[in-house]
Amino acid sequence: AQTVTQSQPEMSVQEAETVTLSCTYDTSESDYYLFWYKQPPSRQMILVIRQEAYKQQNATENRFSVNFQKAAKSFSLKISDSQLGDAAMYFCAYRGFYNQGGKLIFGQGTELSVKP
Amino acid sequence: DTGVSQDPRHKITKRGQNVTFRCDPISEHNRLYWYRQTLGQGPEFLTYFQNEAQLEKSRLLSDRFSAERPKGSFSTLEIQRTEQGDSAMYLCASSRSGLPTDTQYFGPGTRLTVL
């Protein structure tokens, strides 16, 4: 069975600085997708960024980028120029490529606080 | 394009009562998912529908839980004889199959408190 682990329950960053959130996963599959979702307090979860495992190039979305290390089964999220609005719970999630249902397997989450 | 909506947003009930939650997906999405999220944890998959067919159920979904999507549009999740351990946030998500990554869009959730 696939598992996703986020070993940092809480992280803190100064506004305008850079922070990296860690995620590791375990799978025997060769093709899959990885996601980072953001869940602000009392608000709904939104997709931040996604990565296809067959792509060697790391995904980027504006200030958000990932460091995908397939051999190490590591998928970290880097947030550059942190803003107050980035404060939220961040969840790493896995989806198998051949999983017809497309269900997501989530990590435990990392709570990010941004200090002004 | 309205997002995924869920109703009610909050539900407080007494142990032993039945509760029902509703999820309205994004209109063109044929897949609908239910997840449960307890405090301090990531969401856990419960079940999913493709159109009106329920294609997968987690072992977390005990006999007291039932989900329907009768016309392939909105879905309901019913919990019978609620227990205190059912207290959680129930999240609904929808997606459109056939796309390369089939991104799931989440609703705001229904927070259930069982007294």
- Quote the pLDDT of residue B1: 54
On whether any CB of chain B is under 8 Å from the CB of A108, the answer is: yes
For the stretch A82-95, pLDDT in tens is 999 999 999 999 99
What is residue A3's predicted lDDT score, i.e. its pLDDT?
A: 93
The pLDDT tens digits of the residues spanning B71-88 come to 889 999 999 999 999 999
CA distance, residue B108 to nearest chain A CA (Å): 4
Nearest chain B alpha carbon to A51: B101
Both tokens of A54, joined, read: 């067959």
Q: What is the pLDDT of residue B46?
A: 95
B97 and A106 in contact by Cβ < 8 A?
A: no
Confirm or reject contact between A116 and chain B (CB < 8 A): no
The alpha carbon of residue B91 is apart from the nearest alpha carbon of chain A, in Å, by 9
Q: Please report residues of A whose CB lies closer than 8 A to that of B107.
A: 44
Q: How many CB atoms lie within 10 A of CB B30?
A: 16
| Cα B79 from Cα B93, distance rounded (Å) | 18
Q: Residue B69 pLDDT > 80, yes or no? A: yes
Q: Dihedral (C-alpha) B41, B46, B50, B55: value to the nearest 10 degrees? A: 140
Query: CB of B27 within 8 A of CB of B37?
Result: no
Helix (H, G, I), strand (E, B) or coil at B38: coil
- CA-to-CA distance for B111 and B38, rounded, in angstroms? 10
- Chain B contacts of A4, Cβ < 8 Å? 42
pLDDT at B4 over 70: yes
Q: How many CA atoms lie within 13 A of B16 on its CB side?
A: 0
Tokens of B110: 């229904």
